[in-house]
Chains A and B, each alone.
Chain A
Amino acid sequence: MILLQVVVGGLLLGAVYALFASGLTLIWGMMNFINFAHGEFVMLGMYVALVVTWIHGGPEVFVPIAMVALFALGVCVYFGLIKHVTRGPMLAQILSTFGLALLLRYSAFAYFKADFRTLPESWLSGTLNIGGIFVQNSKLVAGVMAALLTIGMHLLLTRTALGSRLLAVSEDRSAAMLMGIRPDRMQALAWGFSAASAGIAGALLAIGFPFSPEVGATYALTAFVVVALGGFGSVPGAGIAGIIIGLVDQISAYELGPIYKDVVVYGLFVAVLWVRPQGLLGKF
């Protein structure tokens, strides 16, 4: 029974990782660009949710607002910064989003202070008891959203004209331009989608998780591992890798002890990378 609970916990945690990573893999795969500020996008999503609760909005209000706000931020970041460094050396890209991460984190710090925050109770705060297995509502919703988002983004990329244009730009920028696609617009859209998914992730996580401006860094490293394990740019890969990491995380924490779970997660990751360098679903 308890093991079943551990597995359910792992699945739910995996969904959270998947939610976090899907936006990251979009940018990584499409533009070959590592966004070190992705954790900060998630953090901002949490604070958007906090501000909305001040004016008495529940999750049904703050999740969409966080999504829209972060979409706008993503587009602004693209035009203000990313556009100008995207064809520069990889190191300049690392520098730019590293600087952006510090700037965003400490801007939030200056305004909201360092204090830990939690959202007030809402209709999503409770716990479901399914035959002795406990499931937190907020995590369940996060899991469902993660699945929807992963599937939605995958369909968007593979089944729609917009998706084809997005992929065309990532395959060959100049050829896409010859086809009459405006790469800037497409890539700005990709940044918008990526940031919006981070906003949703943040708003959902904030329901059950205490946060401060430093919280982005807590998730970021695991998210990178999830993305690389799934294969860069593979949205379904990020989903599957998220679940795997979530399960491994919980089971090893339960069986071996919580300090060894990260050892197992990173060890597994390194092993997979050495055996299958392109990740689980990566094309290479």
Chain B
Amino acid sequence: MKARPGPIALWALLILFPLLVSLSDSAPFFEDVGATLILAAIGASAWNIVGGYAGQVSVGHAIFFGAGAYVPLLVFSLWEVPPLAGVPLAMLVAILFAVAIGLPSFRLTGHYFSMATIAVAELVRLVVSNWELLGAAIGMQGPATPRGWWDLIFRSSVPYYYIFLGVLACVIAITWALERSRFGYYLRAIRAGERAARSLGVPVLRTKLIAFMLSAALTAVAGALYSIKIGFVNPESGIGILVSVQMVIIAALGGAGTLYGPLIGALVLIPLQSATNTLFGGGGSGLTFIIYGGIILLLARFEPGGLIELWQRLRAMVLGRFSRGAVDAA
């Protein structure tokens, strides 16, 4: 990867973010929003592998998020081990789900695939809300007070922020490696046209399935980080349809099928959510969602390719003015 100023500046800002806001007297709140943002970026980046690169718009990723959120709290409630210990198992469960859902569903394309994933996710949510072992409708809780650092319960959000940031870096690095590999070309070929890809010798089903498994495992990590931080999960917050929709919206807003699209989407959407709720939520007038919905609508109307395209256009404009040379197509 050529050293490009954009991504480097972005990472530098993300790393320095807690330091920057520590000057503000509302630092703990900003740090918490920051951690939420990075977590959302992890989920959306994981979704992006199958939803963006392979163009298979899954609206059922809440299953994997939920597996990630539930398994760590389940191992805690069964054996009192730190929730962190459940993360590998959570990833495994998510991968099994991905195989079970992917094998029959990948014969479906377009909206049918989306609908099938929604329906399976609803099924799983309904089963979990009636399953005593998983806390049924009431949900599951983590340790109430930390027994040691390994419970990952901190008073401040900064440790979460850096843990999440590290995971995000890994997810983006994996995506980056994927993008350059033969596998990445397969994915894009499938997105461009499944029939054409097959005729070129791309093993379509296998490629989609592997991408789905990888995406599921990484989404499960996001879910695990969520439930470890919040210390609680119930069917709605773990497997609710809004969990899936949020991943899709963030990736689409930033630019699906691009390396930094999901992160850019999260950088815009999460602060937007937080700011509108902080400003207008307390009044109870509904203004929060009028503004939030309006902005999403306008972005879709005027920037259908996502914010990253806007960024690239701006960059091309600026570069063009200086060099008039060929623009490095990102």
- Indicate if A touches B (C-beta under 8 A): yes
A positions within 8 Å CB-CB of B: 28, 32, 34, 81, 84-85, 88-96, 98-103, 105-107, 109-110, 114, 213, 221, 224-225, 228, 232, 259-260, 262-263, 266-267, 269-270, 273-274, 277-279
**B122 contacts A221, C-beta separation under 8 Å:** yes
Nearest-CB distance from A96 to chain B (Å)?
4
Those 9 A-B pairs whose CB atoms lie nearest each other, nearest first: A102-B293, A99-B297, A88-B304, A99-B296, A92-B304, A109-B286, A91-B252, A96-B300, A95-B300
User: Which residue from chain A places its CB closest to the CB of B256 in the assembled complex?
Assistant: A91
Shortest CB-to-CB span from A192 to chain B, Å, is 20
Let me know if B252 and A102 touch, CB within 8 A: no
Task: Tell me the B residues contacting A by CB distance below 8 Å.
Answer: 57, 104-105, 107-108, 110-112, 114-116, 118-120, 122-123, 126-127, 129-130, 241, 245, 248-249, 251-253, 256, 284-290, 292-301, 304-306
Question: Once bound together, how far apart are the Cα atoms of A277 and B285, in whole Å?
Answer: 43
Given contacts A95-B299, A106-B286, A273-B119, 18 further A-B contacts (CB under 8 A): A34-B114, A91-B248, A92-B252, A92-B304, A95-B252, A102-B289, A103-B297, A106-B290, A107-B286, A110-B286, A225-B115, A232-B112, A262-B122, A266-B120, A270-B119, A274-B105, A274-B107, A277-B112
Tell me the dominant secondary structure on chain B's binding face: helix
Report how far A99 CA is from B107 CA in the complex, Å.
Answer: 30
Rounded to whole angstroms, the CA-CA distance of A90 and B304 in the bound complex is 9
Candidate in A89, A101, A232 with the most chain B CB atoms within 10 angstroms: A89
Please name 25 pairs of A and B residues whose Cβ atoms are closer than 8 Å in the assembled complex, sorted by A. Answer: A32-B111, A81-B301, A85-B300, A89-B304, A91-B251, A91-B256, A91-B306, A94-B57, A96-B296, A98-B245, A99-B295, A99-B297, A99-B300, A102-B289, A103-B293, A103-B294, A106-B288, A106-B290, A107-B286, A110-B286, A221-B122, A225-B119, A228-B111, A260-B130, A266-B126
Contacts known (A106-B288, A277-B108); A259 close to B130, Cβ less than 8 A:
yes
Contact B293 A267 (CB under 8 A): no
- Docked-complex contact B297 and A100, CB < 8 angstroms: yes
Q: Give min CB distance, B256 to chain A, whole Å.
A: 5
B111, A34: Cβ atoms closer than 8 Å: yes
Is the CB–CB distance between A274 and B305 below 8 Å? no
